[in-house]
Amino acid sequence: MLVKINSLHILFYYDKIHILFSSSSLYIERTILQGSVHIKRALNSDFSCGHSMKKQRTS
């Protein structure tokens, strides 16, 4: 299932939620089972956010 909200693309899976921000080029992969949020930049840079999501910059 793909839901488009403005420039926000949310893909729903049975065990994972993939959120793709096309405006800020941020790829957020959240694993519900482990409750960990991984935010990956469009580049090779990737980092993990534990409980709170922080916005680095607004493109």
Tens digit of pLDDT for each residue in 14-55? 344 454 544 444 444 544 434 444 444 433 333 333 333 444
pLDDT of residue 49: 38
Q: Is the pTM of this model over 0.85?
A: no
Q: Whole domain around residue 10: which residue ranges?
A: 2-49
Contact 48, 41 (CB under 8 A): no
> Is 55 within the bounds of a domain?
no
pLDDT of residue 57: 52
- 39: exposed, middle or buried (C-beta count within 10 Å: 0-12, 13-18, 19+)? buried
> Is 58 within the bounds of a domain?
no
CA 25 to chain centre: 10
How many domains does the chain contain in total?
1
> Is 59 within the bounds of a domain?
no
> Is 56 within the bounds of a domain?
no
2-24: average pLDDT: 46
Count of residues making up the chain: 59
pLDDT of residue 39: 42
